[in-house]
């Protein structure tokens, strides 16, 4: 029995002293620790991105965010030493766009000229949108398939844009009305 205990202790000591086994153990321990929270802009969830996160034990780890990721997804970031850090994705609270399931929701100031089109800044980049003739402030435009990309068993989401009247559009409408009245009065 004593030979068995000595051989088992020797085996455990050898495994602990092995640099390969130790690196695997450290990487597993770091990955098993509580995940690091990362606040990313909505555009990173759509197109994917590569970034760096602080490792809990010091240093940095490289993280690749795949296109179509969702808030709450947990990914592994790799350190230069071969370790791993668990990272939980969240939407950056400073971002004006929100993710709701696969849909992206936000607001945009658009000159509300009926039947006209406007270019607005979206998480996908500048996008030309036709404003329906019946649109008023508060109208929500639904752009099918412009939300988060499809992944696994879920379909692509929609981009939901709440229209807000910009001060420029209100002034330009009033200026045009005044100009028209001046011309009629003359």
Angle, helices 2-17/19-32, rounded to nearest 10 degrees: 80
Element (H, E) at 22: helix 19-32
Q: What is the pLDDT of residues 129-144, one digit of tens each?
A: 888 777 778 889 899 9
Mean pLDDT of 98-108: 91
Q: How confident is the model at residue 66 (pLDDT cuts 50, 70, 90)?
A: very high
26, pLDDT greater than 60: no
Which pLDDT score is estimated for 127? 86
Q: Is 110 exposed, middle or buried (0-12, 13-18, 19+ CB in 10 A)?
A: buried
186, pLDDT greater than 60: yes
pTM metric for this prediction: 0.66
Which pLDDT score is estimated for 50? 94
């Amino acid at each position: 029995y004593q030979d068995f205990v000595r051989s088992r202790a020797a085996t455990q000591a050898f495994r602990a002293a092995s640099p390969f086994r130790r690196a695997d153990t450290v990487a597993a321990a770091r990955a098993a620790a509580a995940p690091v929270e990362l606040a990313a802009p909505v555009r990173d969830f759509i197109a994917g991105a590569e970034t760096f996160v602080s490792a809990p034990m010091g240093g940095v780890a490289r993280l690749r965010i795949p296109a179509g990721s969702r808030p709450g997804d947990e990914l592994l970031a790799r350190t230069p030493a071969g370790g791993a850090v668990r990272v939980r994705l969240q939407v950056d609270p400073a971002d004006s766009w929100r993710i709701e399931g696969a849909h992206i929701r936000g607001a945009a100031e658009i000159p509300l000229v009926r039947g006209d089109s406007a270019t607005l800044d979206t998480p996908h980049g500048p996008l030309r949108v036709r404003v329906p003739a019946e649109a008023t402030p508060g109208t929500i435009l639904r752009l099918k398939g412009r939300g988060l990309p499809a992944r696994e068993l879920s379909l692509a989401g929609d981009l939901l844009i709440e229209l807000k009247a910009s001060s420029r559009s209100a002034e330009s409408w009033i200026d045009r009305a005044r100009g028209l009245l001046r011309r009629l009065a003359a």
